[in-house]
Amino acid sequence: NLVIIRMLLDNTFIRRIVGFTNHKHAFDLFAPLLFNYYANALNLLCEMNKKLERHFPRSAFACYAFNLGGKVRSYIHTDHLNLPFGWCAITALGTFNPRKGGHLVLWDLKLVVEFPPGSTIFIPSAILRHSNIAIQPGERRLSFVQWTAGGLFRWVDFGFKSAKAFQDEVGKQAAEEANSRRWKEGLNLLPRLSDLTST
């Protein structure tokens, strides 16, 4: 499996997707404060533990999933272990007619979105229920997903300690207050419509 994973990580087209998604492009352009929070957390993790390997040097994301089943389809779910106020990047791949299938369904927003091959979307996957529609017979749909687990941010924010160790150190009430503060600060990292229209 390591040989296959290395081939995927070194693939020119995957590297281009990661490049477009991250630094000085989509994520950084539309949500610079959130992007910086992701990038700083990953930088701190890698500085603290030199054994950690960054798969893509300019990416702010720590985790990647290659869904290569040929007819990749997800059922209604949330990625509850992701950062609650964070984004994950989903890229559709393959050869399919996006008008007849492969749509992205954002259940809480009551939206069904045409999602052609080569498209990338950022969603708060931890709190937004999502799925996709099946494709037509004879077509192929794959996906590439980029995200960072919420626990990694908590580990960094708590001084490189587990939630339990942090709570043992500061007490239950202080730990709850820290979590509440993290949530409020996280919401302030999200872009506002005024941010996009003022430039």
Instruction: Fill in the amino acid letter for 41.
Output: A
Helices 172-187 & 150-157 angle (0-180, nearest 10): 120
Domain ranges of the chain: 1-192
Of 153, 155, 146, nearest in space to 125 by CA: 146
Please state the rounded mean pLDDT for residues 45-63.
Answer: 93
Instruction: State yes or no: pLDDT of 129 exceeds 90.
Output: yes
Q: How many CB atoms lie within 10 A of CB 28?
A: 18
Mean per-residue pLDDT over the chain, rounded = 93
168, amino acid identity? D
Buried b (16+ CB within 10 A) or exposed e, 36-59: ebbbebbeebeeeeeeeeebbeeb
The pTM (predicted TM-score) of the whole model is 0.92
